[in-house]
Amino acid sequence: MRATQRSRLAAGPLSVWQHNGTWTLNGGLWTNAPTVGAELLANGAFASDTGWTKGAGWTIAGGVGVATTVTAGIGISQASILTIGNWYHQQFDIPTLTANGLSPWDGNALVNQTATTTGNAKLWSLRAAGTTAGIFARVGATSGTIDNASIKPLTTNTLFIARPGIADPPTIGAWLTIVANTHCGVVVNLDSIVTPANFVIGLHNGATASMFKCVAGVYTSLVSAGATYVAGARLEVRKTAPTTYQLWYNGAQVGTNQTVSDAGIISNTLHGGVSMYSGNILRI
């Protein structure tokens, strides 16, 4: 059931924010603990040599996945477990790493962020571009071990917080503090909090700023570029015309102007924030 909460905006009147019960306001700052679904990976603890498709140089032994001088783009994976367009939490431990780094696979490509150090619970949020999930060598001759791999889906309608406005707001923005490799940002022209399917989102994940449109649940990348992360910096989606969208981060435009003319998007009047991880903080 939709929940609402009143807050004092940094500028503007008392407004009603709409969300699905996972957002919390504390001292003018919003955090979100999106609903996380059941585990999708089989044998994520590598207790046996089963369940995984192993690329050249990968083995399972001693209760861990083992990479031995693995070529870039080669991984250990499980097919047909992701749903294209859905968001996920993926994490794994790296007990040892003697060369290069490891990245999750989004079903179509490596995610941009690479784990280059050992440690537990290396975490990413990612949007599936295919149905196969895995852990892959980012650059050549990668050696190391992995353990406790996990992939869990995020419930889409718990990602957003929004309030009613006009169809063509000049700027929707938020000041962001981001846990590396997870996503947060703003949503513009959202059709529904309960069943979100059409919108434009601007995101940052601690390294890359991106903007997508989503039409009937299908995402299209509009902008994606490196943007140096600054804790508390502002990310904005600006509408300079009814069908012209810009992505801005820390006072500079990222990428170029984008035309979005989809009828399912441009007349929607809900705008606000989006966060894929509980550690992220937004001031909107």
Among 193, 203, 198, 201, which Cα is nearest to 157's? 193
Query: Topology of domain 3-35+156-283, per CATH?
Result: Jelly Rolls (2.60.120)
Average the pLDDT over each of 42-51, 132-141, 227-236, 244-253 and give the range with the smallest value. 132-141
pLDDT at 249 over 90: yes
CATH class of the domain whose range is 53-153: mainly beta
pLDDT of 253: 98
State the average pLDDT for the chain: 94
Measured from the Cβ of residue 26, the count of other Cβ atoms closer than 10 Å reads 8
Q: Do domains 3-35+156-283 and 53-153 have the same CATH topology?
A: yes
**Every domain of the chain and the residues it spans:** 3-35+156-283, 53-153
More confident residue, 8 or 86: 86
**How far is 12 from 130, CA to CA, in rounded Å?**
42
**How far is 236 from 251, CA to CA, in rounded Å?**
9
Which residues, 6 or more positions from 21, have their beta carbon under 8 angstroms from its beta carbon? 1, 3, 158
Indicate the pTM of the whole model.
0.92
pLDDT of 8: 30
